[in-house]
Each structure stands twice: as structure tokens, then as C-alpha cells.
Amino acid sequence: MTYNHKKASEDKYPLQVNGKMLQLNSGQMAHLIKKRMREDRAVQKLFEKFEVDLDQLENLNIEIGDLSGRYAETDIDGTVLDKNLFDGGQFFSKNYFVCVHELAHYLSRHKENIAYFNDPEEVLGFVGSVASLLASGSDLDEIFTLVYPRISFHFHNEEDSREFMAHCIYKAKELLG
């Protein structure tokens, strides 16, 4: 999803609240959508079904953009909602359901991403690779340079990939005794 984030945050979208028509930017709308999702029992149940912690909702990036007639697009990084969903200021009463539908796609991708590194075969593959490099005399900088790009490819969050890399180094040292 490649959008002009600066322009998107400057655009305003109508939202009717208590009989008044407010004009909110994309970030404000995203905040309200997430707030509604956190309070939505169906959304809470979706998180349970996908075995994803509801706190992960904070990592969902929600943007508003011109999708040329498509309602929404979702990938592991987040969701883009078409700006036309906000016409008339009745988003929550008329189109919020689109967010819930897209959330299922996001949760599915998120769970797949988590599952990859919960797979003992994948984890031990990286641990074994790091252990082999350690055993052959490579220093941690060299190991990081060689292995980290392959690990980070599988993550969408640098903090998570660095944490996984540190875990692999720890387990590799443990494996070598």
C-alpha cells in the first residue's frame, strides 16, 4: 500500500456526532475506528478466534485514501479505507462493517506471520545457522550482517525482528554449550 501519507493526513472527512457534522483527518478517524473496534464484542471475538491479543489492534495502521472504487485494501501492515466510505458523515452507521471485514484479513495475515516463528523447524533452522557461524569463529557483527536480513524479511516490525535475532543468538550459544 503506497499512499501519500502527508496528503492523506491533511484531508478531512465528515462525521456526524450528536447532530453536529465534524471534519476529522485520517489519523483522528483511525483513532475513533480503533476505539470502536476495542469496544465491539464481535471484534473481540474475532481476535479470540484468530488467537491474537487484542492489544495488537494498536499496531494496525488505518489510512483513508482513494482506492478508485474498491472499498478497502488490507495487508500485514494495515488497512486503507476508500475515502468514499466517509461521504455523508455516516461512516459508523453505514460502513463500519467494512473495517470489521478487513480486520479478519489483517488478523489472518498477522497470525500467519506469528505462526512462522512459532514453527520449531523455522526457529531451529535460524538457531542452527547462527550456531554454525559461531562455531566457525564468526563474530556477532558478522553473524548479524549475514543472518539478520533473512530474519527481518519475515517481520514487519524491526523491534520484533531484532528481538527474534537476539533470541536466536542466545539459543545458538546455549546449543553450543
Q: Counting beta carbons within 10 angstroms of the beta carbon of residue 169, is it exposed (0 to 12), middle (13 to 18) or buried (19 or more)?
A: buried
Average pLDDT, integer, range 13-17: 94
Average pLDDT, integer, range 151-168: 85
Q: Which conformational region is residue 18 in: left (phi greater than 0), alpha (psi within -120 to 50 degrees), or beta?
A: left
Average pLDDT, integer, range 17-29: 94
pLDDT tens track for 89-106 = 999 999 999 999 999 999
Name the nearest CA neighbour of 40 among 83, 85, 103.
Answer: 103
pLDDT tens track for 103-127 = 999 999 888 777 767 778 888 999 9
pTM of the full structure: 0.66
pLDDT at 6: 45
pLDDT at 118: 74
Q: Which grid coordinates are listed for 162? A: 531484532
The full set of domains in the chain, from first to last, is 5-114 (3.30.2010), 119-176 (no CATH)
Cα–Cα distance measured from residue 41 to residue 33, given in angstroms and rounded to the nearest whole number:
14
Q: Is the separation of the CB atoms in 75 and 3 below 8 Å?
A: no
Cα–Cα distance measured from residue 156 to residue 166, given in angstroms and rounded to the nearest whole number:
17
The dihedral built from the CA positions of residue 100, 104, 105 and 111, taken in this order, carries a sign that is: positive
